Amino acid sequence: MEIKTRRVTSETTVRKEEEEEEQPLSPTARIFHAPEFNCYVIAVIGLKKKIEADVITEGLKQTLIRHPRFSSKLVSHGNKKRQTQSWVRTNVVASDHVVVPDIETQNTENGNVNADAFLESYISNLTTVPLDISKPLWQLHLLDLKTSDAENVAVLKFHHSLGDGMSLMALVLACMRKTSNPDELPSQPNQNRSSSTSSRLTAASRGDSRFLWLVMILWSALMLVWNTVCDALEFIATAMFLKDTETPIKGDFRSGKSKRMCLVHRTVSLEDIKQIKNAMNMTVNDVVLGVTQAGLSQYLEKRYGEKKKVGKDEESKSNSNDMPKLIRLRSALLVNLRPTTGIQDLADMMAKKSNCKWGNWIGYIVFPFSIGLRDDPLEHLRRAKRIIDRKKNSFEAALTFIAGNFIIKSFGVQVAAKIINRALSNTTMSFSNLIGPIEEISFYGHPITYMAPSVYGHPHALTIHFQSYMNQMTISLTVDPTAISDPHRLLDDWEKSLQSIKDAVQKRGSGSLD
């Protein structure tokens, strides 16, 4: 009897080890490997000191490489019709993933301007080179390059199948420590997710009016169902025929071929955004959406004006008009549906090899930007808030995630990838926003000046990502240069829009005191 028990226990242990050694890809991860949707996450990290490559490589061995996804390679089984893909654990040689290019001859006497241009060119070249699937799908590039806002630069490149953007960036933060205390993990601000609906329900309940409380619950439930149905119908229509206006920033991805992308960034004051947030009783996300709407309006007005001035031939005249009054310009807002995994949990996972929730649980919200010049710049904020408040009162993100999994299981990865690709191709851009540490942190002993993450490989000519860090907000633009050849001007328009909205808020505040 004792021998039998030991044998069963031994067999169970072997099965567990085999499961740990090989895990099938999640449905979303399989989509990210489809030719129509081959996506990568890239993060540019500015450092305050000269890079010590050996120190960083050793740090990777103690942290990132211990994560199961970063020590597993992709293995395919079967034929093309019935192919399965799995993550298989492998021995990782850190030096195979750390790239230290010799760029001394490139960083010439022209100084910071040349270094900034070289960094943009280097990252652009990275977007054209796929990762080697015979090894774990990640790389770290360490650039001995002094730019206008950093002494040296590190560039992380991950395949999106490793995880969703929020989880990947949380994992990167779990590899970092506070500069004030090298033993402490980065700390992030508390997020208040209370919605206006829940606030109204609480107010009603406090008023001791059971009837009013019941009416509010029923009304909220009805609006939730109605909004979800409307959003679902819009997503279906977008996947089938509903296209955005062909503006100068809408790329053409009908060829299905991957394109060289360009990544630029700009850092602004987070305090300015918070000042607007507090004055308008909004969230930081509401403000950056409103400012983005204003910046896009300014940028498109100039682009349409330039088209009007191009040439004097009849063909140019027929194709060049001022900005149309009605522009359908929608963004795909990425939503992480997995319960948030704490930085501490991820750090424990790497240090102690403990279990932790991981994967790609991504839904989409189709967010319509109201494009147009406004006499009152604050109107951009109000319109953005109205739309996002309605979107929060909907199961659109969860519905797109569930529908995607259903299509994969019913029709296969290729069909699902084509449907998602078509839906995104009919919108104009992607948008995301992540909250970062509130104190200065270091990357294996290298203090950080900024973090600029983004994603490429999806069918959008413009992706805008916001990353907060200490008292700053970094805006990252990933663009198709054939559609947007001047991304720095778009950043200029965004920054000018932030200033005009800030001025309008201050003017309104001083006016209320008179």
**CATH 3.40.50.300 holds for 22-270+325-489:** no
Domain limits, the chain: 22-270+325-489
Per DSSP (E only), the strands in 214-370 are 262-269, 329-336, 362-369
For residue 176, the model assigns a pLDDT of: 93
Q: What pLDDT does residue 310 have? A: 54
**What are the b/e assignments for 26-46, b being 16+ CB within 10 Å?**
bbbbbbbbbebbbbbbbbbbb
- pLDDT tens figures, 96-146: 999 999 886 444 444 455 899 999 999 999 999 999 999 999 999 999 999
Identify the pLDDT of residue 513: 40
What global pTM score does this model have?
Answer: 0.86
Which portions of the chain are predicted below pLDDT 70? 1-21, 78-82, 104-113, 190-209, 211, 254-258, 307-321, 338-341, 352-357, 359, 510-514
Q: Which residues are catalytic?
A: 160
pLDDT digits (tens, 9 = 90+) for 203-227: 444 445 676 777 778 888 899 999 9
Q: Please give the pLDDT value at position 316.
A: 42
Residues 6+ apart with CB under 8 A from 498: 268, 272, 273, 291, 295
CB count within 10 Å of CB 405 equals 16
- Among 389, 393, 419, 394, which Cα is nearest to 404's? 419
pLDDT, residue 312, reads: 45
